[in-house]
Amino acid sequence: MANVLITGATGLVGTRLAEILLEKGHRVAHVGRSKRAGPVPSFLWNVEHGVMEIEALRGIDAIVHLAGAGVADERWTTKRKKVILESRTKSSALLCKTLKNIPNSVKAVVSASAIGYYGFGLSDQLFTEESRPGTDYLANVVVQWEKEVDKIAELGIRVAKIRIGIVLSDKGGALKEMARPIRWGVGAPLGTGNQLLSWIHIDDLCRMFIKAVEDRQITGVYNGVGIKAITNQQMTKAIATVLNRPLLFPNIPAFILRLIVGEMADIVVNGSNVSSQKFQQAGFNFQFTDEVEALNDLFKR
Ligand SMILES: NC(=O)c1ccc[n+]([C@@H]2O[C@H](COP(=O)([O-])OP(=O)(O)OC[C@H]3O[C@@H](n4cnc5c(N)ncnc54)[C@H](OP(=O)(O)O)[C@@H]3O)[C@@H](O)[C@H]2O)c1
């Protein structure tokens, strides 16, 4: 049993991760921008001012670092881009500073990262952990985020980074956005529909984080994606099938999406094919390898 402190625990991944950790008999604490009522100990930090309640570290064996402003929550203005970057770099730096200055028993930090690291790829290009980073805005964010996280390893603490793909959850994120128009009968593939989505069921992702907490061999960077990417069109069709809704409309062209959401449209009209082989070779077995099975499981919850 481990005592695990989670940053950004109120988010999509953190909420489910805490549930599964508790089910497995681990103890969980939260650190975030506001205190949470409930049985789980909750602590405050202020990332902008670089301060954190030091009691948060008491008795902690491992930290799971998920905090970061939502990438798709708002239009990418210059101000928002700064928030997206600094909520990740400054929170990682704050963890590092606190771990360095306060006596603690933390043996591992497992941080979220993102497959945005690789930029966007062509369908015949498979990204592995060895692939070079992309050059677009998000890729730059992820590179700087990982660089801050890596500084924690210099303290002698085991560090693992999980480059998360498109998380499928019934509670929010990409799937909720994709399913909404389909439920209303106005769903359609986006852009060409041929862009590849490297998806993962949220429970598989949480099990990856837990393996990275528990297994001392897990160190460095791992892709947090499922076995096989599928196209936007295949995913749209699978959601419509599972929800038993028709798909009547032609693809929504990329330029229309850019008019609506601006530069952020890049995340949905482009894709990337990302390999999960490294984590599998480390002994991880996926519960969900088929998108229809994953969607059925999520939508019946
Ligand atoms: N979901 C995905 O498909 C996906 C894909 C790739 C990467 N990721 C990465 O994985 C991590 C977890 O994902 P998620 O979907 O759970 O994210 P989420 O639902 O957006 O939650 C992130 C949490 O970060 C904290 N946060 C938000 N804005 C912040 C700010 N300005 N400064 C400091 N903390 C802030 C919040 O926790 P408090 O309110 O408790 O502080 C929030 O609940 C994120 O870093 C995300 O970029 C997710």
What is 3-234+259-299's CATH number? 3.40.50.720
pLDDT digits (tens, 9 = 90+) for 106-131: 999 999 999 999 999 877 799 999 99
Q: Left, alpha or beta for 115 (phi > 0: left; psi -120 to 50: alpha)?
A: alpha
Res. 36 pLDDT band, cuts 50 70 90: confident
pLDDT at position 122:
78
Q: For residues 229 and 196, give the distance between their C-alpha atoms in angstroms, rounded to a whole number.
A: 6
Do the beta carbons of residue 244 and residue 299 sit within 8 Å?
A: no
Q: What is the mean pLDDT of residues 146-160?
A: 98
Which residue, judged by its Cα, is nearest atom 11 of ligand 1? 66
- Mean of the per-residue pLDDT values of the chain: 96
pLDDT at position 298:
97
Q: What is the mean pLDDT of residues 265-285?
A: 95
Q: For residues 151 and 133, give the distance between their C-alpha atoms in angstroms, rounded to a whole number.
A: 19
Phi, psi of 18 (to 5 degrees): -60, -40
> What is each CA distance from 74 to 81, 199, 254, 267, in whole angstroms?
10, 22, 18, 13
Asked if residue 8 has its Cβ within 6 Å of ligand 1, the reply is: yes
Q: Is the pTM here over 0.75, yes or no?
A: yes
For the purposes of burial, counting CB atoms within 10 Å of the CB of 25, is it exposed (0-12), middle (13-18) or buried (19 or more)?
exposed
Percent of the chain scoring above 90 in pLDDT? 92
Ligand 1: centre distance to CA 131 (Å): 25
Q: For residues 279 and 204, give the distance between their C-alpha atoms in angstroms, rounded to a whole number.
A: 12
* Ligand 1 atom nearest to 83, measured from its CA: 31
Ligand 1: centre distance to CA 41 (Å): 19
**Amino acid in the structure at residue 214:** E
**Amino acid in the structure at residue 106:** V
Phi, psi of 109 (to 5 degrees): -125, 120
**DSSP H or E stretch at residue 232:** helix 232-243
pLDDT at position 266:
87
**CA nearest neighbour of 88 among 130, 138, 127, 43:** 138
**CA nearest neighbour of 231 among 278, 184, 189:** 189
pLDDT over 90 (residue 51): yes
Please, what is the angle between helix 137-153 and helix 78-101, to 10°?
10
Determine the 3-state secondary structure of 168 from DSSP.
strand
Asked if residue 87 has its Cβ within 6 Å of ligand 1, the reply is: yes
User: How much is the CA Rg of the chain, to the nearest whole Å?
Assistant: 19
pLDDT digits (tens, 9 = 90+) for 216-236: 999 999 999 999 999 999 999
Do the beta carbons of residue 260 and residue 251 sit within 8 Å?
A: no
Asked if residue 159 has its Cβ within 6 Å of ligand 1, the reply is: no
pLDDT at position 75:
92
Which residue, judged by its Cα, is nearest atom 47 of ligand 1? 68
* Residues in a beta bridge with 283: none
Q: For residues 250 and 246, give the distance between their C-alpha atoms in angstroms, rounded to a whole number.
A: 12
pLDDT at position 259:
86
* Residue corresponding to tokens 């771990």: 99
Which residue, judged by its Cα, is nearest atom 13 of ligand 1? 13
Q: Which of 92, 164, 178 to mutate to test the pocket of ligand 1 (most atoms within 8 A of CB)?
A: 164
pLDDT at position 121:
81
pLDDT at position 3:
98
Do the beta carbons of residue 138 and residue 115 sit within 8 Å?
A: no
**C-alpha torsion angle, residues 162, 166, 167, 168 (rounded to 10):** -150
